[in-house]
């Protein structure tokens, strides 16, 4: 479990290393393909953490293993889930309010009575 945590932390550090090299570290271009790929990976990491938490809860409900502290493991997942939620919430809001652009067929002139 600790290796999963370390792998996810390393992946997050690698993903955001490119952002640190930008001229203005606080300026993010949401249209950048690298940014979009980064958010896709963060979204998948968030889903994987949620699934890991559910599986740990199921394992605890199925059988109490002596010496295995599931609550401590779940406690280690929660800060990462909270961090990912903070990172992904603006993108979720942006996607929810994204305007639809009609295709060219919508603007074809209507032929009326000749």
Tell me the pLDDT tens digit for each residue of 16-36. Answer: 665 555 567 778 888 888 988
pLDDT of residue 18: 56
Residue 111 lies in a domain: no
Residue 45 lies in a domain: yes
pLDDT of residue 37: 92
Residue 48 lies in a domain: yes
Residue 114 lies in a domain: no
pLDDT of residue 96: 74
Residue 96 lies in a domain: no
Q: Which residue range forms the structural domain that includes residue 14?
A: 1-21+28-61
Residue 2 lies in a domain: yes
Residue 52 lies in a domain: yes
Which residues of the chain are under the pLDDT cut of 50? none
Give the global pTM. Answer: 0.59
pLDDT of residue 107: 61
- Please give the Cα distance from 77 to 110 (Å, whole number): 58
- Please give the Cα distance from 21 to 101 (Å, whole number): 34
The backbone torsions φ and ψ at residue 24, rounded to the nearest 5 degrees and listed phi first, read: -115, 110
Domain count, the chain: 1
Residue 37 lies in a domain: yes
């Amino acid at each position: 479990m600790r290796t999963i945590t370390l792998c996810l932390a390393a992946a997050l550090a690698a993903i955001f290393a490119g952002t640190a090299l930008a001229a203005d570290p606080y300026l993010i271009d949401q249209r950048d393909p690298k940014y979009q790929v980064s958010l896709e990976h963060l979204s998948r990491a968030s889903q994987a953490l949620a699934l890991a938490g559910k599986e740990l809860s199921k394992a605890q409900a199925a059988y109490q293993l002596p010496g295995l502290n599931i609550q401590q493991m779940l406690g280690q997942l929660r800060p990462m889930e909270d961090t990912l939620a903070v990172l992904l919430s603006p993108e979720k809001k942006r996607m929810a309010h994204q305007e639809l652009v009609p295709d060219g067929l919508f603007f074809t002139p209507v032929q009326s009575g000749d």
